[in-house]
Amino acid sequence: MSLEQLCDLKSVLPTTSCTNFMDNKDQNLQNFPYRLMPPVPGTPDLSHLGRKVNHGTTTVGFVYQGGIVLCADSRLCNGINVCTQKMNKIVPISKHIVGTLAGGAADCKYWYRVLTRESRLHELRYKQPMSVSAAAKMIGDVSQMHRGTGLDMGMLLAGYGPKGPSLIYVDSEGMNISGKKFAVGSGASNALGILDPMYRFDLTDEQAFDLALQCIYQATLCDAYTGGIVLLYRMGPVTHGMVKEVDCMELHKKYSTDALSQVDIDLE
């Protein structure tokens, strides 16, 4: 049974045609479960405890002449505890959209699954892929509805459309910004220290990959919440996929040696 039949699109989805899934937001919000389920009766209210868990990660994304590069670490932390070093923070949403995770892992994973489903339903109903801006608008609306409830996420949504590459940052505060380069997470300021001065649109593939890896490497040096395996992903006009996975210790051996060599050259 196809997803179209399983979801009974004829009775659930609006029959009027539109070019964007979020054009009629009020009607869509009634038809689809964008809201989290209400608290179960009898559940104790723990909001007065004021417990806040620190999260940490670093993800980087930028547009260049060859496509879009996404790079992220794989360390998952709960406060001062490292839960795992193998968290995949670059998630394909559809054939045309890829996203990165930052913030609460459960929040990001849940809403990415919702976004993946809605993207597929959009393709079945309107016979065209959901755009990156429509996906970002949906997550932005979700963030606005749950603002102040503890939702914690920061996402980079990347993809290609008729107008070319798109890179959009959305977070749990309702921010929705389109741009050419972003760094997200606890190590973002360290990554931007490398990305801002070295970024150019006319980078070659190898230069773009090297820049992305250097950004994450710099974050691993200065941010205890960033580390593990560094994932490098490229989106092109036709194809996209994982370029490589590198242990951050290998990056340390490479870039620290290069830095020392450059110092020796300058001294000479």
Catalytic residue among 15, 16, 19, 57: 57
Burial 114-126 (b: 16+ CB within 10 A, else e): bbbebbbbbbebe
In sequence order, what are the residues at sequence separation of 6 or more whose Cβ sits closer than 8 angstroms to the Cβ of residue 44? none
Helix (H) or strand (E) holding 98: strand 97-100
User: If you compute the radius of gyration of the chain from its CA atoms, what whole number of angstroms results?
Assistant: 20
- Crossing angle, helix 132-145 and helix 105-126, to 10 degrees? 130
The tokens 């989106």 sit on which residue?
A: 235
Identify the sign of the CA torsion 208, 248, 190, 231: positive
Cα–Cα distance measured from residue 122 to residue 117, given in angstroms and rounded to the nearest whole number: 9
16 has catalytic annotation: no
Q: Long-range contacts for 241-247 (Cβ within 8 Å, ≥24 apart)?
A: 242/90, 243/209, 244/209, 246/213
Secondary structure (DSSP) of 117-130: HHHHHHHHHHSSPP
Q: Which residues are catalytic?
A: 57
